[in-house]
Structure 1
Amino acid sequence: MSSKVGKPSKKINNKYIADLKKKLAASNKTKEEKHVLKPESESEDEDNKDEEKEKEAEENEIKEDEEIMNKTFKDFGLKEDILEAIEQLNFDKPTPIQAKSLTPALEGRDIIGIAQTGSGKTAAFAIPILQALWEAQTPYFACVLAPTRELAYQIRETFDALGANMGLRCCTIVGGMDMMEQARDLMRKPHVVVATPGRLMDHLENTKGFSLRALKFLVMDEADRLLELEFGPVLDKILQIIPRKRTTYLFSATLTSKIDKLQRASLHNPVKVAVNSKYSTVETLVQTLMVVPDGFKNTYLVYLLNEYVGKSIIIFTRTCAHAQNISLLGRILGFSAIPLHGQLSQAQRLGALNKFKSGDKNILVATDVAARGLDIPSVDLVINYDIPTDSKAYIHRVGRTARAGRSGKSVSLVTQYDLELILRIEKVINMKLPKETPNKNEILALHDSVDRASAESIRQVKQFHSNRKIHRR
């Protein structure tokens, strides 16, 4: 089945519009006639009745939402093994996305889940899968697709924790790791495969004995990113191979509702569960910006690092080169910084993430590979060193802090070239970012030493690349 939706011709469109105008004119005429024929008092009574009905419907909806939110995990009829694991993870009660999606998910419905980042989306799709798996216990039961390798490993951790008491076998299939070792993991017949789309397709085409023909569940986490063109052709191939008769979940913080994208995902009569109906950030997050004069961006960054010394910080950059330079600049100035970007090997990326999570390093300098879905509970501050060109990327970045009800802060360093990007972000998040003004004397006092450290970090990076070229020869 083709994933593309054919565009209707102009002729059809014009006819459709003409018909619509006729219907609208006829409808208005009928309404006018009714209004003329009816006495004024009768018309007022009907208006009052309509208002009462709307009010009653609203009250019922609020009541239903309150009932859902007051539910505990035990109220969903989950298996004891899963409930025990939930208790061991100290999940007190379902988060809003979990509370709203668990009932339709446990009934076997397809789900489109939209919720703020850090709201417990992974458990929202993992729990119903494990509940169904408890009865079936068949290999290759579920496949979870993630846009980044780091997110795939994190999803695997959640499945391992929730399925610990029921003998769950789970494996992670991502790029940058040994294919043979992954093939051996797949031959152990795992119940759940967590993968990035490209590497999963490699194994489906090249690993003998591996097939997803018996797949019962497909999950697309951070679905808006997966449905972008970058992953489109690979996703189409995967969707042609796996069974049409399956349960499909799409979860994201930001999910566009374009028909062709949802058709590509092959959902059947899905339930849309939206905790936030528009792109938004959590209330416990304090967001500010600093207007930075030309040539002073590194100085402003170091000023912030001094202000929040000892705190857990993620600095987001637009490029791998910036991430490498900034982390080196930080280390030269005595800060415990480590880079995370796409040009590092997978082992280096995982190592950097683990060092940051464990507190061994308290500053992570990252590109947007760390923006999506990663759950690092204790991040105090997010600094946007480079303003993202995509407004949704801003929401994902700042969502690395103020997670699961905690407070947090984000600061964006804005130059004269970023004003248009900031205005676009403010429009999307529906708020104006307040300006934060640092102490100018402190900035000037830092500037010379930061400039020298910046020059040294650039020299060291050039030296490193030069040595690599010599080594290759």
Structure 2
Amino acid sequence: MDAIPGVSVIGIDPRALIMAPTRELAIQLAKECLKLCRGFDSNDIKICNLYGGTKRTTQRCEAFGADIIVGTPGRVADLLFPQYIGRTRCDYIVLDEADRMLDDGFEEINRLIIEKIQKMRGPKPISKVLTSATFPVEIQKFATNILRRDYMYAQCGILNAPSASVTQEVVHVDDLNEKYDELDLVLQKYNIGTEGSTAKALIFANTKWKVDYLGCLLSDTLGEACTTMHGDRSQEQREFALTLFATSTSPVLVATNVAARGLDIPAVDLIINFDCSDKEYFHDDYIHRIGRTGRVGRPGTAVTFVQENGKHNDKKKTGILIELMKVGNAKIPDWLRDMAENMVRNLEEFT
């Protein structure tokens, strides 16, 4: 049978593979690829988006003959692997948010995808690119297993640091109940959800149930001005929530870290870290979360609640927070310094 024009003999065999940790980021990257390819004939370059939460059979059909595939690792592996039965023409592999893509959650499947493509590629080299706003030393070392030994390293701005265009603030709270009260005050201070205001706020919580709970609380006062987003939402619900927020139809979005990385949402004025991430991930999560504002030269504000008491207090994270605020030339209140010093003193006494 003669080959169909524009469709690889193998079937699904892209020239370039771009992968991201979340569905929303994969969708955004695919849209950016379309913009970059506007000058080409639509028959010359075909772009396909692969991610979970949608029909596998539909995406498989769309992937046939695609020159550029943008997707999440799970769906990419699911659709790509059965197709590779010989050589592949894949010249480029890109991992966006590479530090997340190479951590414990994604490392195995991404390594498997890359090794599979390299094996089918044979001796011909593949250009590989890793990008991220945070790139810890341990991830840089691990990258040497994926990139060639003499890989080129490019850095824009200060590595592993908050954006200089974001004003960082902290709010002291004794317990969870006070945190709820302070949330209302912060939203009022920045005119979020008030009549005639165009300001938008993105609120981060650590768990899905907390996102839902905050969404219910804020809906009582803000009504349809508040929407929510997390991993248990269907793909349609997640995309709809992002659209409502991006278009300012709902100026308040409460989300888990599913909205923390890479998303370019226009004109976000305020980030509220209602919950601080666990200490292990706090540094990088903080940088990525507050990076949703202050984009493309536009100023923004990030407010972080620091809880002193209770089961889920933030004392262990105060030292990291102070260092991040120093880099961003933020004013560090005395109470935060005291909390960090007391934490260190208590640890020394314990050990």
* TM-score normalised to structure 1 length: 0.60
SS in 1 for 2:39: helix
Partner of 1:281: 162
**Counting helix residues as a fraction of each chain, which structure ranks higher?**
1
* Alignment of 1:303 onto 2:208: no
Q: Please state how far the C-alpha of 1:237 moved relative to its aligned partner.
A: 1.3
Gap change, CA 1:194 and 1:345, over 3 Å in 2: same
Q: Please state how far the C-alpha of 1:387 moved relative to its aligned partner.
A: 1.1
Partner of 1:190: 66
Radius of gyration: which is bigger? Answer: 1
Partner of 1:324: 212
Instruction: Give unmatched runs, 5+ long, in structure 1.
Output: 1-137, 438-473
Structure 2 CA distance for aligned equivalents of residues 171 and 385 of structure 1:
36
Correspondence for 1:165 among 39, 46, 49: 39
Retained in 2: the 8 A contact 1:280–1:429?
Answer: no
- Note the 1:191-270 alignment, pairs <5 A: 191-206=67-82, 208=83, 213-243=88-118, 245-258=125-138, 260-267=141-148, 269-270=150-151
* Alignment of 1:151 onto 2:52: no
Q: Please state how far the C-alpha of 1:184 moved relative to its aligned partner.
A: 0.8
Q: Please state how far the C-alpha of 1:359 moved relative to its aligned partner.
A: 1.4
Q: Please state how far the C-alpha of 1:354 moved relative to its aligned partner.
A: 1.1
Retained in 1: the 8 A contact 2:325–2:332?
Answer: no
SS in 2 for 1:172: strand
Q: Which amino acid aligns with 1:253?
A: A
- Note the 1:45-60 alignment, pairs <5 A: none
- Note the 1:40-439 alignment, pairs <5 A: 140-166=14-40, 167=42, 168-187=45-64, 189-206=65-82, 208=83, 213-243=88-118, 245-258=125-138, 260-267=141-148, 269-294=150-175, 295-307=177-189, 308-309=191-192, 310=197, 311-335=199-223, 336-389=225-278, 390=281, 391-416=283-308, 417-428=313-324, 430-431=326-327, 433-435=331-333
Q: Please state how far the C-alpha of 1:319 moved relative to its aligned partner.
A: 0.5
Superposed CA deviations along residues 34-76 of structure 1, whole A, max 9, x for unmatched, are: xxxxxxxxxxxxxxxxxxxxxxxxxxxxxxxxxxxxxxxxxxx
Retained in 2: the 8 A contact 1:315–1:385?
Answer: yes
Retained in 2: the 8 A contact 1:204–1:211?
Answer: no
Structure 2 CA distance for aligned equivalents of residues 368 and 430 of structure 1:
24
Structure 1 CA distance for aligned equivalents of residues 62 and 333 of structure 2:
51
SS in 2 for 1:266: coil
Retained in 1: the 8 A contact 2:19–2:72?
Answer: yes
Partner of 2:339: none
Q: Please state how far the C-alpha of 1:205 moved relative to its aligned partner.
A: 3.4
Partner of 1:460: none
Superposed CA deviations along residues 318-364 of structure 1, whole A, max 9, x for unmatched, are: 00111111111111112411011011111111111111111111100
Q: Which amino acid aligns with 1:319?
A: T
Q: Please state how far the C-alpha of 1:424 moved relative to its aligned partner.
A: 1.5
Percent identical pairs in the alignment equals 30
Structure 2 CA distance for aligned equivalents of residues 272 and 232 of structure 1:
21
Q: Which amino acid aligns with 2:204?
A: F
SS in 2 for 1:272: coil
Q: Please state how far the C-alpha of 1:264 moved relative to its aligned partner.
A: 3.1
Q: Cα RMSD over matched residues?
A: 2.2
Structure 1 CA distance for aligned equivalents of residues 149 and 276 of structure 2:
38
Q: Please state how far the C-alpha of 1:211 moved relative to its aligned partner.
A: 8.2
Retained in 2: the 8 A contact 1:220–1:249?
Answer: yes
Retained in 2: the 8 A contact 1:218–1:246?
Answer: yes
Structure 2 CA distance for aligned equivalents of residues 211 and 428 of structure 1:
49
Structure 1 CA distance for aligned equivalents of residues 130 and 171 of structure 2:
36
